[in-house]
Chains A and B, each alone.
Chain A
Amino acid sequence: MEVTVPKFGVTMQEATLTEWHVAEGDSVEEGQPLADIETDKVDAQLEAPGGGVVKELRAEAGTVVKVGAVVAILDPA
Chain B
Amino acid sequence: MTETLVKDTYMTTAIAGALKAAMAEDESVIVLGEDVELSTIGCTKGLVDEFGTNRVRNSPISEATVVGSCVGAAATGLRPVMDLMFSSFFYVALDQVANQAARLRYMSGGQVDLPLVYFAGTGPSGSAAAQHSENPHSLLMHLSGIKVVFPSSPGDAAGLLIASVRDPNPVVFLLDLMLAGSKGPVPAEIEPLLIGKAEVKRSGDDVTIVAIASAVGAALEVAAELEADGVSAEVIDPRTLTPFDWDAVTESVARTGRLVVVDPARRTCGAAGEIVARVTESNWPDLKSRPRRVTWEDVPIPFSPVLEEAVTLRQDQIREAVTATVAGNGRA
Contact = CB atoms under 8 A, between A and B. Distances in A.
Answer yes or no: A and B touching, Cβ < 8 Å: yes
A41 B126 contact: no
Contacts of B324: none
Q: By DSSP majority rule, is chain B's interface helix, strand, loop, or mixed? A: loop
A9 B40 contact: yes
Interface residues of A, number: 12
Interface in B152-202: 177-178, 180-183
A14 B126 contact: no
Interface residues on B, range: 10 to 19
A53 to B, nearest CB: 30
B181 to A, nearest CB: 4
B68 interface: no
Interface in A1-19: 7, 9-14
A41 B11 CA distance: 10
A67 interface: yes
23 contacts: A9-B40, A10-B125, A10-B177, A10-B180, A11-B121, A11-B125, A11-B177, A11-B180, A12-B181, A13-B125, A13-B126, A13-B178, A13-B181, A13-B182, A40-B11, A40-B42, A40-B180, A40-B181, A40-B182, A40-B183, A41-B12, A41-B42, A67-B126
* Nearest 9 A/B pairs, CB to CB: A11-B180, A40-B181, A40-B10, A11-B181, A10-B125, A41-B42, A13-B181, A12-B181, A40-B12
Interface of B: 10-13, 40-42, 121, 125-126, 128, 177-178, 180-183, 305
